Amino acid sequence: MLSLPGPVLLSASHRAYNSGMGPTAGRGEESASIVRRHSYVPSLDGLRAVCIGAVIFFHVPSPAGHPWLDAVRSRCWYGVDMFFILSGFLITWILAVEFEDTGRVDLGYFYRSRGLRLLPAYGTALVLVAAGSYVLGSVPGASFHAPAKIWPLLLTYTLNLWMAATAIWPQGLSHFWSLCVEEHFYLSWSLVFRRWGTAHSLRIALAAIVGVLVYRTGWYAVMNWGHLWSPSEASYFRIHYATDTRIDAILIGCALALAMREARLQGLWQQLRAAPLFPTLALVAAVGCIAWVTEYRWRQSTFGYTAMALASGALLAAIFLRPQCWLGRILSTRPLVGIGRISYGIYLFHAPLLVALEARLGFYANNLEARRYLTVLGSLTVISIAFAALHYRIVERRFLAMRKPRSFLAPRAHRAPQPSSRTVAA
C-alpha cells in the first residue's frame, strides 16, 4: 500500500525544464530533463483515489447471482499493486534528487520522515484493531480476531511473511500485509541508494526485477509440480504475500523514476510526451493486461505480477508526462485529489470499519444480500473517508509538521545558505 501523503511535489533538480518552457541552465555536462522543477502533479493524487476505491470495492463481498460484478470485484485487489508502483516511483525520485544535489542519502532523516508520516495512522489503526478484538470477541459469528500471536507480527511489520507461510487470511487484518512489504522496501532500497547512488541503482533495479520474476516462477513450479495449471492455495499465499516474490512491482516504479532522470533516455521521454495517444493506449494496455493475467492464477503467480506492473508503469509514465491529457484532467478533479491525499488513512481504517459494519448489520464473510450491497458499500466508503479525513486533520498533520524542510529540494537559482522552507511531500 502506498503510504506517501499528498500533495505530490516532484523536483527534477538541476536537470529540469523550467515550468515546462525550456531547459534550465545547469552544469555544463548535464542534459535537460523533460520534468519540471517542483511541479505538483495532482493527477497522481487522483490515481491514488482510484486505487483506494478499487481496494474498498474488492473487500466488500459481492452478492450471489451477479457474476459480472464479482468478475470485476475480484480483480480490484490490483489497486494495491498500483500503490506499490507509485511508492517506488516517488520515493526513488526523492532519493535521487537528494543524492544528485548532496552526494549522499541521509538515512536518519529518511527514516524519521517515514516514521512521522506512517506511524501515527498505523498506531491509530492498531488501537481500532485492539478495540475491535475486545468488543467483537464475544459476538457470535463475528469474523474479526486478533489473537496474541498476531500482535508481534503487526508491531514488527512481518504479518505478510506469516500469511505467506501459514496460508491464513486474518479477517480485518489481512490488508496490513502490503504495509509490511512497503516497510521492507524502505529499509532496503534506501541502503542500496546510499551505497550505489543514481549511477548504478537503475541497473540494480532492472536486474532485481528480472531476478524476482525468475525466482517467483521457480517457486511456483516447485510448489505446483504435477499440477502447474491448477496452483495450490498454499502456493498462492506464499507467492502473493511474501516480500521476496512481490517486491518487483515497487522496483518497477523505482526503475521508472531513475529512467526518467537518465540523460540518455530523454529523447524517448520527449517523444512519448509529444504523443497524444500515449495515455489512451497505456490505459487500454494496463486494463487489458490486468484482465487477461488475473483470469488464471498460474499466469498471475508466474509472469503476471511483473507484466501487470510494467503495463501500469507505462500508464503512470503517461499521466506524469502528459498531466493535461483527458485522463490527467479527470484524475485532477478536486474530489479525487482530496481523497487521494488521505488514501493512506482510508486504507488503514476501512478494513476494521468493515468488520464493525458486519457486526452491526449482521452479515459475515461472503453472505451479503443483494438488497444490502449498495448500503454496505456506500456506508463503508463514506465512513472510511470521513474518519481518515478527520484523523489526518487532527493527528497526522501535527506529526508532518515536525519534519524538517528539505533544503536540497529548493530550486538551485533561489537556494540560500540556510535551510530552505520549500519541501516536497513524501
255-264 residue pLDDT tens: 999 999 999 9
- Inform me whether the pLDDT recorded for 400 exceeds 60: yes
Cross-strand bridge partners of residue 10 = 39
167 close to 232: Cβ distance less than 8 angstroms:
no
The pLDDT, as a whole number, for residue 118 is 96
Confidence of residue 17 (pLDDT cuts 50, 70, 90): very low
The pLDDT, as a whole number, for residue 199 is 82
Q: Name the residue with cell 506464499.
A: 238
- Inform me whether the pLDDT recorded for 318 exceeds 50: yes
Confidence of residue 40 (pLDDT cuts 50, 70, 90): confident
CA gap 328, 340 in Å, rounded: 14
The pLDDT, as a whole number, for residue 413 is 45
* Average pLDDT value over all residues in the chain: 85
The pLDDT, as a whole number, for residue 364 is 64
CA gap 112, 408 in Å, rounded: 17
The pLDDT, as a whole number, for residue 423 is 36
Helix (H) or strand (E) holding 40: strand 39-40
**376 HSE (CA, 13 A, CB side):** 29
CA gap 217, 227 in Å, rounded: 14
Helix (H) or strand (E) holding 39: strand 39-40
The pLDDT, as a whole number, for residue 46 is 97
- Inform me whether the pLDDT recorded for 12 exceeds 50: no
Helix (H) or strand (E) holding 210: helix 177-223
The pLDDT, as a whole number, for residue 146 is 62
Confidence of residue 35 (pLDDT cuts 50, 70, 90): low
46 close to 334: Cβ distance less than 8 angstroms:
no
Residue 366, burial from CB neighbour count under 10 angstroms (0-12, 13-18, 19+): exposed
- Inform me whether the pLDDT recorded for 151 exceeds 70: yes
Confidence of residue 136 (pLDDT cuts 50, 70, 90): low
Across 6-10, 51-55, 135-139, 415-419, the highest mean pLDDT is recorded for: 51-55
The pLDDT, as a whole number, for residue 409 is 53
Tell me the one-letter amino acid at 122: Y
Pairing of the two strands 39-40 and 9-10: antiparallel
pLDDT tens sequence across 191-248: 999 999 888 999 999 999 999 999 999 999 999 999 999 999 999 999 999 999 999 9
Q: What is the mean pLDDT of residues 303-311?
A: 98
Between 79 and 29, name the one with better pLDDT: 79
- The neighbour count for residue 200, using CB atoms within 10 Å, is 13
Q: Name the residue with cell 515550468.
A: 19
The pLDDT, as a whole number, for residue 407 is 58
* DSSP assignment string, 318-382: HHHH-TTSHHHHHHTSHHHHHHHHTHHHHHHHHHHHHHHHHHHHT--TT---HHHHHHHHHHHHH
C-alpha cell recorded at residue 357: 459494519
The pLDDT, as a whole number, for residue 3 is 43
Confidence of residue 404 (pLDDT cuts 50, 70, 90): confident
The pLDDT, as a whole number, for residue 130 is 83
Q: What is the mean pLDDT of residues 321-347?
A: 96
- Inform me whether the pLDDT recorded for 11 exceeds 60: no
Residues above pLDDT 90, as percent of the chain: 67
**67 HSE (CA, 13 A, CB side):** 0
Q: What is the mean pLDDT of residues 116-141?
A: 79
The pLDDT, as a whole number, for residue 408 is 53
Q: What is the mean pLDDT of residues 363-388?
A: 86
CA gap 138, 8 in Å, rounded: 43
The pLDDT, as a whole number, for residue 25 is 33
> Which residues fall within 8 angstroms of residue 55, CB to CB, at 6 or more apart?
76, 77, 79, 80, 175, 347, 350
Domain positions in the chain are: 9-18+32-414
Between 215 and 98, name the one with better pLDDT: 215
CA-based end-to-end distance of the chain? 14
pTM of the model: 0.88
C-alpha cell recorded at residue 389: 479525513
From the CA atom positions of the chain, what is the Rg in Å?
22
- CA dist 411 to 29, 48, 91, 197, 416, Å? 19, 27, 19, 21, 10
The pLDDT, as a whole number, for residue 355 is 84
Among positive and negative, which fits the CA dihedral 45, 51, 52, 54? positive
